[in-house]
A and B are shown apart, each in its own frame.
Chain A
Amino acid sequence: MAALARLRLEPDEEERLRSDLSAILEAFERLQGLDTAGVEPTAHVEDFGALLRADEITNPPAGEALVANAPARDGRRFRVPKIIE
């Protein structure tokens, strides 16, 4: 699960997390007892239909500001370490 969330945990962190999570998960189990047959899941609380915008270019070409927070760059491109398959 940690891998799926891209979190690296220290062993003691993992231990604590495991016990915290199992307590919380037990609480979740209580939901199973509830009969929800035929109940629509709430994906959206308010539903007034998707907002649609016109097909127009409203953003000017990006300046320096948008790449300024980059931890590592090469010119305007973001640099990342190699991906090991």
Chain B
Amino acid sequence: MSVPGSPAVSSALHECSVREAAARVRRRQVSSVELTRAALARIEAVEPRVGAFLARCEAEALAAAEAIDRRVAAGDDPGPLGGVPVGVKDNICTAGVRTTAASRILESFVPAYDATVTAKLRHAGAVIVGKLNCDEFAMGSSTENSALGRTRNPWDPERVPGGSSGGSGAAVAARAVHAALGTDTGGSVRLPAAFCGVVGLKPTYGRVSRYGVIAYASSLDQVGPVTRDVADAAVVLEAIAGHDPADSTASPRPVPAYQDGLDAGVRGMRLGLPREYFVEGMQPEVEQAVRAAVRELERLGAVIEEVSLPHTEYAIATYYLIATAEASSNLARYDGVRYGLRVPGQSLGEMYERSRAAGFGAEVKRRIMLGTYALSAGYYDAYYLKAQQVRTLVRRDFERALERCDALLTPVAPTTAFRIGEKVDDPLTMYLSDIMTISVNLAGLPALVVPCGADGAGLPIGLQVIGRHFDEATMLRIGYAHELASDWHRRSPIP
């Protein structure tokens, strides 16, 4: 039994992994209420510096925690995440709790329904303590596009946490929650994971249900866990993955036990390094850290070889055409009629225009315009259709490379976390931060980011492992082997 009020125990509570926390709850060494209070206290302590949360659900969380504690007391299994405080990105619907997608247009929107992943978290026993900040409608790479909050990198408050799931990355790095859910359309789970020095996983497209996830780009979006270590990512992924009768694009494939076989090692694995990803102008420390991690894996028995993904240079344009086209359509429902912000107008047309003008930020407007243009009469063939064809070429590049290799290893971004305000005025430059993550979404493949180093300023550097279609297991094995041989994931920015 825990000793309530004992500083040593309670200050350690927010430090432990998801697995450890769940185990302690199951063993009745700690109650979910204690864990939850510890998380809420930690959030209180770090938020002024980090600003990861858009909403905290204290009452709901404590009620859920109490319910878990009752189940445990009754001898029932509380679930793989039983009693563990987690955060959810604010573009994922949580019934009865404000869900805004970090946009003014949904500032007061309270969904009457859970996203499927939210329901699965609850079913697994997780305690949702708050909603996490992000770029508005998940559009961005720094979380600077949020209309409702500012999130800072816990490693350096002058720097961005990455985006669009910046709140998720920052909250996990700051140990405010044991795990978080983010979404990844072009790198939005992986980039914050890299910039914040934590683990981020983007599943294969279709591995996890998108029902209740506020759509940005339907053929690219996926929900993924942000955690402190690889084994936790496996636990959370297992809890949220699987078929969903409410999502026609969710795969019927059974969900493997991702926690099993994590420690099987990398001996005999063939790992590819795509030459196009080691670009000119990369921050030298980033390249060094990634190459060091690669050498370590080689030392552990993997065979490293160079591969080529020749259509990489076209990926950014392809991604932005497809994503903005789909987004322009997905965001048409925000018209002030049934929910969300309405700015009155003399006529319907005026109401639409004013509501959307006031409700959407600059980046969202930019992408809606681009997307509308890409689909418009006369341009469809040249833009949208062409982009979908190039997408096929990008997919084939990966298929070829992954025929020979079990996985690919790449950096996550050309640099470590950049300064707040540095790239906001030049969208094109901002888009280029996605260059190493984007193609993965185009191909629908899974990818895992693990911390593998730090630069001179102590800013984290991430390693990306790209796996085969629906082969998250191999990817997790590789990440786990790396983790065992290093300590980067143990570094914490805020004591």
* A interface residue numbers (CB < 8 A to B): 1-2, 4-10, 13, 16-17, 20-21, 23-25, 27-28, 30-32, 34, 36, 39-46, 48, 50-51, 53, 65-66, 68-72, 78, 80-84
Contacts and interface: CB of A to CB of B under 8 A. Distances in A.
Nearest to B391: A42
Interface in B375-417: 376, 382-383, 385-393, 395
Interface string B162-176: 000000000000000
Given A7-B360, A16-B362, A71-B337, 14 more contacts: A1-B373, A4-B372, A5-B356, A6-B356, A7-B369, A34-B314, A36-B386, A40-B389, A42-B391, A45-B395, A45-B443, A46-B249, A46-B251, A81-B351
Nearest to A50: B248
The 3 closest A-B pairs by CB, nearest first: A45-B444, A41-B388, A69-B339
Contacts of B443: 45
B314 A23 contact: no
B112 interface: yes
B385 A5 contact: no
A69 B353 contact: no
A29 to B, nearest CB: 8
Interface residues of B, number: 73
A40 to B, nearest CB: 6
Given A4-B372, A30-B317, A42-B388, A48 B251 contact: yes
Contact of B390 (A31, A50, A71): A31
B392 A42 contact: yes
Contacts of B335: 6
B456 interface: no
Given A24-B320, A31-B390, A41-B392, A51 B248 contact: yes
Contacts of B251: 46, 48
A53 B245 contact: yes
Interface in B317-374: 317-318, 320-321, 328, 332, 335-342, 344-354, 356-357, 360, 362, 365-366, 368-370, 372-373
B358 to A, nearest CB: 9
B365 A31 contact: no
A80 to B, nearest CB: 6
A41 B391 contact: yes
A81 B345 contact: yes
B348 A28 contact: no
Nearest to B341: A71
Nearest to B350: A81
Interface in B409-451: 427-428, 431, 442-444
B318 A31 contact: yes
Q: Is the interface of B mostly helix, strand, loop or mixed?
A: helix
Contacts of B370: 21, 24-25
Nearest to B375: A4
A32 B348 contact: no
Given A1-B373, A31-B314, A51 B366 contact: no
A4 B338 CA distance: 20
A84 B353 CA distance: 14
Given A1-B372, A46-B249, A69-B339, A9 B391 contact: no
Contacts of B321: 28, 31
11 contacts: A5-B328, A5-B368, A13-B362, A21-B369, A31-B387, A39-B390, A46-B251, A70-B338, A71-B337, A78-B337, A84-B349
B395 to A, nearest CB: 6
Contact of A83 (B348, B382, B390): B348
Contacts of A23: 427-428
B197 interface: no
A81 B369 contact: no
A28 B339 CA distance: 35
B391 A66 contact: no
Contact of B205 (A2, A45, A71): A45
A17 B248 CA distance: 36
A31 B386 contact: yes
Contacts of B393: 34, 36, 39
A48 B204 CA distance: 14
B357 A9 contact: yes
Contacts of A39: 389-390, 392-393
B109 interface: yes
Interface in B92-138: 108-110, 112
Given A27-B316, A46-B206, A17 B369 contact: yes
Interface in B286-324: 311, 313-314, 316-318, 320-321
Given A31-B317, A71-B342, A82-B347, A41 B389 contact: yes
Contacts of B360: 7
B369 A1 contact: yes
B248 to A, nearest CB: 4
A4 B390 contact: no
Contacts of B206: 45-46
B259 interface: no
B382 A32 contact: yes
A41 B404 CA distance: 25
A29 B280 CA distance: 23
A69 B383 CA distance: 37
A51 to B, nearest CB: 4
A34 B249 contact: no
